[in-house]
């Protein structure tokens, strides 16, 4: 009688460990670069959303004859103020556009410090607090 030899077509534990090691090393080098680019992309998205809000504020100004004051803030782009119900022809933007990419509301300052004679729109970055560097840096409209 012939004995049948079984031939296993499988990976050994050593081969699996080598593959896992290679994938781990690649992830260690690629992941930091990928996340660094993600923070920069969010800053660019914040600037683009500011442009949308600036456009909405411009349309509000054309319809109502003035920009919102500090007490009204950006909410006037969503709901008509009591004194301007006849002139107001909004919604000038979506509520989601009034949040920065980190989920924090944009800060509106009627008398701009960064833009004298106009208004400021400010995002405090990833940390949501004033100041910071990198992803936490403040972003202000032009």
Q: Does 109 fall in a domain?
A: yes
pTM: 0.71
Residue 25 has pLDDT above 70, yes or no: yes
What's the domain count of the chain? 1
Q: What's the CATH code of the domain at 73?
A: 3.30.700.10
Q: Does 50 fall in a domain?
A: yes
87 vs 37, more confident: 87
Decide if 92 contacts 56 (C-beta within 8 A).
Answer: yes
Q: Does 82 fall in a domain?
A: yes
CA-wise closest residue to 123 among 50, 67, 74, 39: 50
SS3 assignment, position 109: strand
Q: Does 77 fall in a domain?
A: yes
Q: Does 118 fall in a domain?
A: yes
Q: Does 79 fall in a domain?
A: yes
State the alpha helices, DSSP H only, in 4-87. 13-64
Residue 1 has pLDDT above 60, yes or no: no
pLDDT tens sequence across 42-96:
889 999 999 999 999 999 999 999 999 999 999 999 999 888 889 998 789 999 9
What is the residue-averaged pLDDT of the chain? 87
The residues, ordered by sequence, that sit 6+ positions from 142 with a Cβ below 8 Å of its Cβ are 115
Output the CA torsion 62→46→103→73 (10° steps).
-30
Output the CA torsion 77→78→80→86 (10° steps).
70
CA-wise closest residue to 135 among 45, 75, 73: 45
Give residue for tokens 């202000």. 140
Q: Look at residue 137 in the predicted model and tell me its pLDDT.
A: 87
Q: Which domain holds residue 59?
A: 42-140
Give residue for tokens 């992941």. 31
């Amino acid at each position: 009688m012939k004995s049948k030899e079984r031939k296993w077509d499988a990976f050994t534990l050593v081969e699996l460990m080598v593959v896992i090691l290679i994938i781990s090393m690649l992830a260690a080098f690629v992941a930091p670069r990928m996340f660094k680019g993600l923070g920069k992309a969010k800053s660019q998205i914040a600037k683009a959303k500011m442009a949308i809000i600036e456009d909405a504020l411009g349309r509000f100004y054309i319809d109502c004859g003035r920009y919102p004051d500090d007490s009204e803030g950006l909410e006037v782009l969503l709901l008509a103020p009591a004194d301007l119900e006849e002139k107001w022809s909004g919604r000038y933007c979506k509520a989601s556009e009034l949040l920065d990419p980190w989920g924090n509301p944009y800060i509106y300052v009627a008398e701009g410090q960064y833009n004298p004679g106009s208004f400021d729109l400010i995002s405090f970055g990833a940390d949501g607090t004033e100041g910071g560097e990198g992803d936490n840096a403040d972003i202000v409209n032009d």
